[in-house]
């Protein structure tokens, strides 16, 4: 699960009931992040973060849905 928010918004959503286990990958980093190895993804996005395989569903969300839609488009272009 990816959460498409800016860091301050992510902190607010954690406080306000964000989905547990979500990984905050900023929109501008999605393409690069999904090109990383599993090890590099975990190092960069924190312990417990896991790069899903392309055949796993990925949920992207943000406060209003605009960045989530853009992130979805990036992932689709990568055949995720």
Does 57 have pLDDT greater than 60? yes
Give per-residue pLDDT as tens, 20-49: 778 889 999 999 999 999 999 999 988 888
pLDDT at 21: 77
Predicted TM-score (pTM) above 0.85: no
Q: Which residue range(s) make up the domain with 54?
A: 2-77
Give the helix/strand (H/E) hosting 24: strand 23-24
Report the domain count for the chain: 1
The percentage of the chain sitting over the pLDDT mark of 90, rounded to a whole number, equals 39
Residue among 80, 42, 37, 44 nearest 59 (CA)? 80
Give the chain's mean pLDDT: 81
Distance CA 38, CA 49 (A): 9
Alpha helices, DSSP H only, in 18-63?
30-33, 38-45
pLDDT at 10: 52
């Amino acid at each position: 699960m990816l959460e498409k928010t800016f860091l301050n918004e992510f902190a607010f959503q954690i406080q306000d009931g964000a989905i547990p286990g979500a990984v905050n990958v900023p929109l501008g980093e999605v393409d690069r992040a999904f090109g990383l190895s599993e090890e590099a993804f975990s190092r960069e996005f924190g312990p417990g973060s896991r790069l899903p395989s392309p055949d796993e569903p990925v949920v992207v969300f943000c406060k209003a849905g605009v960045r989530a839609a853009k992130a979805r488009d990036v992932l689709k272009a990568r055949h995720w």
